[in-house]
Amino acid sequence: MEQTLEPTADAAWVLVDDGCDALRESDRETRFTVSNGFLAARASRAINQSRQRIAPPSTYVAGLFDTRDIERPVPELVPAPDWLQIRVSLPGGPLIQHFGPGPSHPLTLDMRRGLLLTECRLVEGSAVSLRLRLLRLTSQDQRALGLQLLHLETDEGETEITLEASMDGFDSDLTSERLEHEFGVWRTHLSGKGLAMSAAVALRIDGQTLLPTVLSPFRWSWTWRTRPGQVVCFDRLVALARSDAPDQDPGERARNVLDGARTKGWRRVVEQHETAWSNRWSRSDVKVEGDGTAQKALRFAVYHLNGAANPEDPRVSIGARALTGADYRGHVFWDTEIFLLPFYILTWPEAARSLLMYRFHTLDGARAKAAERGWRGAFYAWESTDTGLEATPEQAVGPDRQIIDILTGAQEQHISADVAYAVWQYWQATGDDEFLVAAGAEILLETGRFWASRAQPEADGLHHIRGVIGPDEYHENIDDNAFTNVMARWNIRRALEVAAMLREQWPAQWTALSRRLDLNESELEHWTGVAETMATGLGSGTGLFEQFTGYFDLEDVDLSAYAGRTVPMDVVLGRERTQQSQVIKQADVVALLALLPEEFAGAAGKKNFDYYEPRCGHGSSLSTALHGLVAARLGDVEMALDYFHRTAAIDLADTKVAIGGGIHIAAQGGLWMMSVFGFAGLSLRSDGLAFAPHLPASWSSLSFSVQWRGRRLSVRVDQVNQQLEASLEVGEPMILIVGGRPYPLASEAPLILHLESPPS
């Protein structure tokens, strides 16, 4: 066991925290979460946990939603029972955790192996001293499994000691249906979802098994006498299963998974888990030479991205805080499609497909939302759970402690185009025609239909979309938001393109789908007209998009006068003044530039970025990543690097940002996007992959792997030698476009190209 408890030696693969600041404990629990996309355990203390803890320990199971507050019926992710609790005590009470001058409760996140390690000393005066080491993981190989290991060595003292292993949180949010010695089934109160847990424990003293006393369900106790040099090893396996309907029993699945794990033993469970993580890293690692801080940030980002997705369950998606915390109630936003899907599409297409199938399975909810408002097609929920019905709360407490109405659920309509964008990007990168025909085409057609219904013709001959909120949520109920309208036009055009493609390549499927959707040529012709006459806010001759109608007339606030502030600009200026100003919450026109750079001809991209970048207050964790991506593409590499480190600091730095409510998973996806789409300059084309690298001066090289249409290739941008090196590891020959020129890439030999030096 001792070898298993040793972390990876390379410091670039581990994250260490030696602190014991109670006010930051919740942040630590978030940062060091272990997760596999189905099961997650925050890094709460497992040993002699205080009853007066600030926040209860949390285990989360993806898709376990319920509406807990009937008066405010907003579904939220329900915590599962915490399976990690251990109490070590003497006859007189629990042993005290030692807080000495050294590390008091060090945590080590071994990102390479996907596990959490911790150690401490337990003491009773000068008479008893124990050294304790712990490991926990949620299996990347068998996602229903969790494992806890404990290694307890006696340094001093001969006394009677008791170790009690238990679980916590049985009764808070779940109704018990069955509760046995090592097995339980619970139900959510209103949604009727089921949760089953099966557990097995074992304790050995100097290699000899000591049988437990069973105190109650999921509660075991062992008592023995210590002596110096004695070694105690404890392991606990748990298996969890979720069911989604009242008539479904998840118990058999949980028992079967646990039986298999018990047969293999915990060592084999660890081995298979580590192998699965190794496979993920071989396909998704990003290596930076010359900037250790950036390397650690990227490993942290990729660790959490790999731990957030579950390709085996197309009925769940990734919430804004993944499974690392309770903020936003576990709800799914546009974050998934815009900030996370690029990573999965290019490194883990199986996970990307599953996430998009979630949007297909919630299409009926999107149709219902559109119909409720008198529109056609699919209007996706701004905040989505398991049904696809709108889950945005109607009110919230604002920064000034006043109750404010939340309008995003009704007005932040670009979500439908965001989903369509991810569908198209996935198909473009993977060539997954089966997905396109069976699911993707219907999403594109129904979202295209929504926009054709939503945009209305007016006397100026243009179609307008009024009364919306763009990505910049400081400005509500606005007209013709450039991001919304241009994305809507793009969405309609892709819907028309997929309709033509189906008609030509899969006529039988097109006939069946068009009949089912009651979609005819007359309606498609109408869509064409809407797209051609969509108001976009693009100034004639200027190349500058107006963010929304009237934006240029608002107060221009110099944000440099507020440098060093520690609160968002809407708090500084007040909500009313912010709404009457040009201050932007997050990338809006800049977000459009990031997603659809082809909409900005010639120097228009730089012109729009130079105008909007100084007006953004970055009041959202989504903002800095898109600014950094665009800055890198435009060649302002040092600005891009500054945005990179600002984005990394959101979850890694103990600054003004509290992360107790969960990792900002979109920011982690943004770090990957900045590196691959920004600094490496990767873009997807129908005929291959294109690169236009711009590395920061401090980065001597950048290496990563991507997948494209059944191929896997590794790429290295070498700044020292001004080279791009690409190797095709799997798949048929393909084309790389570098510096605007096509080059063939085959598996026989790597492609090594000289890069032109950037202008000084």
Instruction: Write down the pLDDT at residue 69.
Output: 72
Measured distance CA(484)–CA(492) in Å, rounded? 12
Q: Which amino acid is at 682?
A: L
pLDDT reported for residue 125: 72
Of the listed ranges 96-100, 337-341, 728-732, 746-750, the least confidently predicted one is 96-100
Q: Give the model's confidence band at 2: pLDDT under 50 very low, under 70 low, under 90 confident, else very high.
A: confident
Mean per-residue pLDDT, 479-502: 98
Closest listed residue to residue 198, CA positions, set 177, 184, 209: 184
Quickly state the pLDDT bin for 99 (edges 50, 70, 90). very low
pLDDT of residue 122: 83
Using alpha carbons, select from 701, 690, 677, 557 the residue that is nearest to residue 627.
677
Q: What number of other Cβ atoms are within 10 A of residue 428's Cβ?
A: 16
Whether the per-residue pLDDT at 759 is higher than 60: the answer is: no
- In the predicted model, is pLDDT for residue 105 greater than 70? no
Q: Look over the chain and give the mean of its residue pLDDT values, rounded to a whole number.
A: 93
pLDDT tens column, 209-255: 999 998 899 999 999 999 999 999 999 999 999 999 988 999 999 99
Residue 566 vs residue 496, higher pLDDT: 496
What does pTM read for this prediction? 0.96
pLDDT at res. 686: 87
For the stretch 148-183, pLDDT in tens is 999 999 998 889 999 999 998 766 689 999 999 999
More confident residue, 368 or 73: 368
Across-strand partners of 61?
39
What the block records as the tokens of 195 is 């949760």
pLDDT at 637: 97
Distance of CA 496 to the CA centre of its chain: 31
CB environment 71-104: b (16+ within 10 A), e (fewer):
eeebbbbbbbbbbbbbbbbbeeebbebeeeeebe
Share of the chain above pLDDT 70, in %: 95
The reported pLDDT for the residue numbered 101 is 44
- The pairing of strands 751-754 and 741-745 is unpaired
CA dihedral of 385, 390, 391, 392, whole degrees rounded to 10: 140
State what percent of residues in the chain have pLDDT above 90: 84
| C-beta neighbour count of 690 within 10 angstroms | 18
pLDDT in tens, 24-40: 788 999 999 999 999 99
Poorest-confidence range of 161-170, 306-315, 613-622, 750-759? 750-759
Both tokens of 410, joined, read 């009704």
HEC string of 279-346 equals HHHHHHCEEEECCHHHHHHHHHHHHHHHHHCCCCCCCCCCCCCCCCCCHHHHCECCHHHHHHHHHHHH
The pair of three-digit structure tokens given for residue 537, joined into one six-digit string: 């806010």
Tell the burial category of 639 from Cβ atoms under 10 Å away from its Cβ (0-12, 13-18, 19+): middle
Q: Which residues contact 361 (CB under 8 A, 6 or more apart)?
A: 314, 315, 388
Q: What is the pLDDT of residue 191?
A: 92
Pair type for strands 734-738 and 688-691: parallel
Tokens 């957030």 identify what position?
308
Class of residue 211 by CB neighbours under 10 A (exposed 0-12, middle 13-18, buried 19+): exposed
pLDDT in tens, 498-533: 999 999 999 999 999 999 999 999 999 999 999 999
pLDDT interval class at 384 (50, 70, 90): very high
What is the DSSP secondary-structure string of 453-512? Answer: HHSEE-TTS-EE-EEE--S-TTS-SEE--HHHHHHHHHHHHHHHHHHHHHHHH-HHHHHH
First vs last Cα of the chain: how many Å apart?
56
- Calculate the CA dihedral of residues 677, 678, 679, 685 and round it to 10 degrees: 40
What are the angstrom distances between the C-alpha of 754 and each of 73, 101, 632? 59, 54, 20
Where residue 97 falls among pLDDT bands split at 50, 70, 90? low
Q: What token pair was written down for 298?
A: 């990227």
Structure confidence at residue 760 (pLDDT):
40
Sign of the Cα pseudo-torsion (608, 610, 614, 616, in order): positive
For 613, the token pair is 């970048």
Per residue in 340-365, pLDDT (tens digit) is: 999 999 999 999 999 999 999 999 99
Q: Give me 693's structure tokens.
A: 């690298």
DSSP 335-379: HIIIIIHHHHHHH-HHHHHHHHHHHHHTHHHHHHHHHHTT--S--
Which pLDDT score is estimated for 100?
Answer: 45
- Any residues with CB less than 8 A from the CB of 697 and at least 6 apart, and which? 637, 638
State the pLDDT confidence band at 541, using cuts at 50, 70 and 90: confident
Whole-number Å distance between alpha carbons of 32 and 36: 13
Report pLDDT for 53.
54
Q: What would the mean pLDDT of 424-438 be, rounded to a whole number?
A: 98
User: H/E/C letters for each residue in 316-327?
Assistant: CCCCCCCCCCCH
pLDDT digits (tens, 9 = 90+) for 446-464: 999 999 999 999 999 999 9
The vertex-619 CA angle with 617 and 621, nearest 5°, equals 120
* CA dihedral sign of residues 510, 514, 517, 522: positive
pLDDT tier for residue 103 given thresholds of 50, 70 and 90: very low
The secondary element (H helix, E strand) that includes residue 729 is strand 723-730
Alpha carbon distance 317, 386 (integer Å): 8
Is residue 675 pLDDT above 80, yes or no? yes
Name the strand (E) or helix (H) holding 225.
strand 219-225
* pLDDT category of residue 54 using cuts at 50, 70 and 90: low
Rounded to whole angstroms, how far apart are CA atoms 741 and 375?
45
Determine the Cα–Cα distance for residues 413 and 186; give it in Å rounded to an integer.
37
Pull the structure tokens for residue 113.
């192996």
What pLDDT was estimated at residue 303?
98
Q: According to the model, what pLDDT value does residue 424 have?
A: 98
Over residues 184-204, mean pLDDT: 95
